[in-house]
Structure 1
Amino acid sequence: MRRYLLTILALCAALLSQPTHALTVERWGTVDIALQGPAEGNPFMEVELSATFSQGERRIEVTGFYDGDGRYVLRFMPDAEGEWRWQTHSNRPSLDAQRGSLTATPASAGNHGPVSVRNTWHFGYADGTPFWQVGTTSYGWAHQSDALEQQTLQTLAHAPFNKIRMTLFPQPYEKGGSDLRWYPFAGQLPKGWDFTRFDPAFFRHFEQRVAQLRDLGIEADIILFHPYDRGRWGFDQMPPEVNERYLRYAVARLAGYRNVWWSLANEFDLVKSKTMAEWDRYFQIVRASDPYHHLRSIHNAFVFYNHNQPWVTHVSVQSGAIAKDPERAVLLRDVYNKPVVYDEVKYEGNFRQRWGQLKPEEMVLRFWQGAIAGTYVGHSESYTDPQDLVWLARGGVLRGDSPARLAFFRKILSDSPAEGLNPIDKWQDYPFAGKHGEYYLGYFGTATPTAWPFALFRTGLKDGLRFKVEVIDTWNMTVTPVDGIFEIRKRDDYTYVDKDQRSITLPGRPYMALRIVRVPSI
């Protein structure tokens, strides 16, 4: 009898030591591990759930979330191929000490992993592929009707943008878009919200849109707070403990998608209910809650946040004038020594407000000027519409002339050095970026030169190096090779010139660029 009992106990121990779940997901894909647990009381407030995912000596701690109807989810994004084992931790016995495993297979085509900071001022995917940010903004596109949201996705599928800024909280609009299907919290107006309970349907819908962006190769720059509620719903006036709970829940649900970026707020300084110390704390909550260390920033109206803080990964800035020329655009890069994204440089459109009246040529110019400064720029559109179907606010279709030119611009960027574009001579007016001695991309903006004397700044150069040149019409989207090869010699302490004193002929039109690439010596 005793031997029989020992055998039973040994079998039980062996069974308990084996995984109870087996799943397969690609590297940097998203897998949901669903568990059944208590539904009584208020699980959002009363139940704690997390899990340790391990591969060899590595450990990743993931916070679970309650998805309603007794369903709890652990959302995981494996960053390495092979077997991962997991075990849960909970204050409820039915959810505690559950075990399982999953297998991470190689990443599929187009899956390059999450984006992070590379080479100080630039971005790259986890697999080493450069990420050239060409972003747009459509704040409330994921809070619209299914038909409008599908139209937005179809537009994005054929647009040049690889990042979109979007709000997690809804925004009210003057015409339409005010009566939503779901809200982040349980309850309804005019009775109000139960800030102790989230609405899982709202978050499931938002997650679906984030996943669809991921499948299109588009980063979702998720804006966690904004100032535009103005008392309609009260989401901008929640007490600090609710804000913190909201942040932890949002991160638990969304961090498992590889294409997520965090923006703590849009125009944070207009959210008068929050202090600078609170923003610091909210940043740290997001950082501590995110096991995958997605990019984090915050967007201003008039007051700059201290982007030198260690929890800020990159600079997100609004300015109507700073990207009009590279000399201004480069300044914040030098101040913060981090990637700089001018997410709002005014918008292409015909609004009466000055921030929404850029001509398409001016929109494109800002992207090129930002690139020559070694920074990045964002787009949006604000053309008036009788139904208030404005891209900036609600998505839909793009009407302007800049997107086609930005697709051309993105192609030029993708052919640049993988390390990123850096200013060639930022000490004085010299409109070139690239890689010293190897690659030069110059932009003349609104100037209309008819010729450019071939002259390169000294760093990385020596007599006898040879270069080929192309003239780029950034508006008409053409690339024209220049005949011949340019061999350089030293002219003075600062420049090397063509040995035969040749110049590049230009058409006398605005928005022209040059691409100069070193060729092997004979």
Structure 2
Amino acid sequence: MLVRVLLACALALCAALASADDFGVTPPAAPVERWGTLEVALAGPSDGNPFVDVELSAVFRQGARSIAATGFYDGDGHYKIRFMPDAVGQWTYETRSNRPALHGKQGSFTVVQPAPGNHGPVAVRNKFHFGYGDGTPFWQVGTTSYAWIHQGDALQEQTLRTLAGAPFNKIRMAIFPNNDDKAGTLRFPFAGTPPRNWDLERFDVAFWRNLDKRVAQLRALGIEADLILFHPYDKGKWGFDRLPAAANDRYLRYAVARLAAYRNVWWSMANEFDFVTEKRMDDWDHYFQLVQAADPYDHLRSIHNAFRLYNHTKPWVTHVSIQHGAATLDPERAVLYRDVYEKPVVYDEVKYEGDFTRRWGQLTPEEMVLRFWNGAIAGSYVGHGEAYQDPQGMVWLAKGGTLRGKSPARLAFFRKILSDSPLEGLEPIDKWQDHPFAGKHGEYYLGYFNRERPTNWPFVLFKTGLADGMNFRAEVIDTWNMTVTPVPGTFEIKKRDDYTYADKDGRGIALPGRPYMALRIVRVR
């Protein structure tokens, strides 16, 4: 009897669901975590050209709030709308389309608390810094591998394994391939036949599915995907650097529709934008505004230069992305761009560690690490790159694979020092004088002595936030040998002059006379 009752209930439920679907109501989706990705999959027309003929979007609602997201065609009559919910609880959605088969579809889903490791998308925090959606600080320690997604599957997987054991929490990567005769490119963003026979009104969904997959894998590793939308390295081979205006806009809208619902996405309008000779400055303004308008989640947006700087004060730019080989040679130089733009500054390219034939790929590991520390003391952020020569062309900067340099281990140590800080970002302590400290006045100080080889440092702090009788403890950090050595006892300060406080007994801290040393000083209450 019980079995018959359960069977009847099951049949009734199936009938109800079928009836609901007939009226455009989809059964509730599986729960999705906050800042996860919900994917609404729909079957629709495949005749004509769905990439340009079909319009699809959905409005997602929770109470009085509503967020609109654009859908996209994924080939073979399959349509998708992706959504990244930002709050737990019940949500509903309803589709909008110019095709009846896709219009008015309704559904509901539950958003649950994020899983461990899901801190939400990164955004600007406290004017000059970054933080995740849940309030966790984001200490950017990025790297670059432009064409890693254009290699074969085995090499892409090897790159991901390398990243899983590396210190980097952001990777700069290009959507379009480079002009490289040895490249492993198998698929392209547009449908067609290489090198130049492209159908600019259709996309190669196999390429985009692989990109989706790789961005999702980076997300699982806790790595931000800084997606470079244009670059000058085509040089006419594929023609992607000189597409018609309508094709550029269509490409950008498709990229945003597919990828914006991944919480780890950043948008870089271009790498070395000023070398893309086919585009004017107002074109770049237009691309920024298009991406900003199409992205319902307001992901981070910037643009990377060669020689000519973009005006990063424009409102659609969230942070500064700079190539500058000399700006991070000392903190007083690195801080200047912060003062000009009043936004977070990321020195995404400061030259590369390696033995490359070009001068931009000849940094020693020590020089690479030094630039990270100087950038941090300036209250800014620095990016890593590696360019060791290889007879097979396996250069991390270009293709990914494995890392060969000595800087990543030191950058892991550097990142731990930053993440152990009680702060949400380092602020310069006294940027107008040779005083190499950052942190928070009166509370926390991180100092870096660059190439200097001091044997003693007199315990002297800049005056802001200080008072007689405050006590501090100190640690000596060897940034190259990756050691932290506590200094015995504490230091009690008193006013020394109009600008500084010093240890009341005139004591200092002994240092080993080696370069790349640092100090961490914390107030004792």
Q: TM-score range by the shorter chain?
A: over 0.9
State the alpha-carbon separation in 1 of the partners of residues 409 and 21 from structure 2: 62
Name whichever of 19-28 and 417-426 sits farther off. 19-28
Give the deviation of 1:320 after TM superposition.
0.7
Pick one of 340, 343, 347 that aligns with 2:345.
Answer: 340
- Structure 1 unaligned spans of 5+: 1-10
Pick one of 149, 157, 182 that aligns with 1:150.
Answer: 157
Matches within 5 A, 1:411-490: 411-490=416-495
How high is the TM-score relative to the length of structure 2?
0.95
- Structure 2 unaligned spans of 5+: 1-17
- SS of the residue 1:104 aligns to: strand
State the alpha-carbon separation in 2 of the partners of residues 410 and 163 from structure 1: 12
State the alpha-carbon separation in 1 of the partners of residues 392 and 29 from structure 2: 49
Pick one of 110, 113, 122 that aligns with 1:115.
Answer: 122
State the alpha-carbon separation in 2 of the partners of residues 316 and 18 from structure 1: 45
- SS of the residue 2:240 aligns to: coil
Pick one of 362, 365, 369 that aligns with 1:357.
Answer: 362
Pick one of 170, 181, 191 that aligns with 1:186.
Answer: 191
Give the deviation of 1:429 after TM superposition.
1.4
Question: What is the RMSD computed on CA atoms of the aligned residues?
Answer: 1.4
- SS of the residue 1:460 aligns to: coil
Give the deviation of 1:20 after TM superposition.
4.2
Q: Report the CA distance shift for 1:491/1:56 in structure 2 as closer, same or farther (over 3 A).
A: same
CA contact (8 A) 1:349 1:359 kept: yes
Give the deviation of 1:418 after TM superposition.
2.6
Pick one of 171, 174, 179 that aligns with 1:167.
Answer: 174
Give the deviation of 1:506 after TM superposition.
0.5
Deviations along 1:217-274, one digit per CA (max 9) or x if unpaired, are 0000000000000111000010111101100000000001000000000000000000
State the alpha-carbon separation in 1 of the partners of residues 403 and 77 from structure 2: 42
Amino acid at match of 1:456: L
1:316 counterpart residue number: 321
- SS of the residue 2:99 aligns to: coil
Amino acid at match of 1:509: R
State the alpha-carbon separation in 2 of the partners of residues 388 and 16 from structure 1: 57
State the alpha-carbon separation in 1 of the partners of residues 143 and 282 from structure 2: 29
Matches within 5 A, 1:261-410: 261-410=266-415
1:137 matches 2:144 = yes
Give the deviation of 1:104 after TM superposition.
0.8
Give the deviation of 1:171 after TM superposition.
1.3
State the alpha-carbon separation in 1 of the partners of residues 194 and 142 from structure 2: 35
Q: Report the CA distance shift for 1:92/1:14 in structure 2 as closer, same or farther (over 3 A).
A: closer
1:7 counterpart residue number: none
1:250 matches 2:225 = no
Q: Report the CA distance shift for 1:319/1:186 in structure 2 as closer, same or farther (over 3 A).
A: same
1:518 matches 2:523 = yes
Pick one of 43, 61, 76 that aligns with 2:83.
Answer: 76
1:496 matches 2:505 = no
Give the deviation of 1:97 after TM superposition.
0.7
CA contact (8 A) 1:23 1:101 kept: no
Deviations along 1:304-324, one digit per CA (max 9) or x if unpaired, are 000000000000000010011
State the alpha-carbon separation in 2 of the partners of residues 372 and 417 from structure 1: 16
Amino acid at match of 2:326: A
Give the deviation of 1:352 after TM superposition.
1.5
CA contact (8 A) 1:140 1:394 kept: yes
Amino acid at match of 2:323: Q
Give the deviation of 1:22 after TM superposition.
2.6
Amino acid at match of 2:153: D
Matches within 5 A, 1:170-249: 170-174=177-181, 176-178=182-184, 180-190=185-195, 192-249=197-254
Matches within 5 A, 1:2-41: 16=23, 19-41=26-48
Deviations along 1:340-363, one digit per CA (max 9) or x if unpaired, are 000000000001111000000000
Percent identity of the aligned residues?
A: 70
Amino acid at match of 1:56: G
CA contact (8 A) 2:322 2:348 kept: yes
How many aligned residue pairs are there?
508
State the alpha-carbon separation in 2 of the partners of residues 257 and 172 from structure 1: 28
- SS of the residue 2:241 aligns to: coil
CA contact (8 A) 1:262 1:296 kept: yes
Amino acid at match of 1:177: A
Deviations along 1:12-58, one digit per CA (max 9) or x if unpaired, are 89984955443321111112110011100000110000000000011
- SS of the residue 2:242 aligns to: coil
Give the deviation of 1:332 after TM superposition.
0.5
Aligned structure 1 segments of 4 or more residues deviating by more than 6 angstroms: 11-15
Pick one of 34, 38, 63 that aligns with 2:70.
Answer: 63
Amino acid at match of 1:171: N
State the alpha-carbon separation in 1 of the partners of residues 260 and 135 from structure 2: 21
Amino acid at match of 2:411: L
1:8 counterpart residue number: none
Name whichever of 450-459 and 186-195 sits farther off. 186-195
State the alpha-carbon separation in 2 of the partners of residues 45 and 519 from structure 1: 64
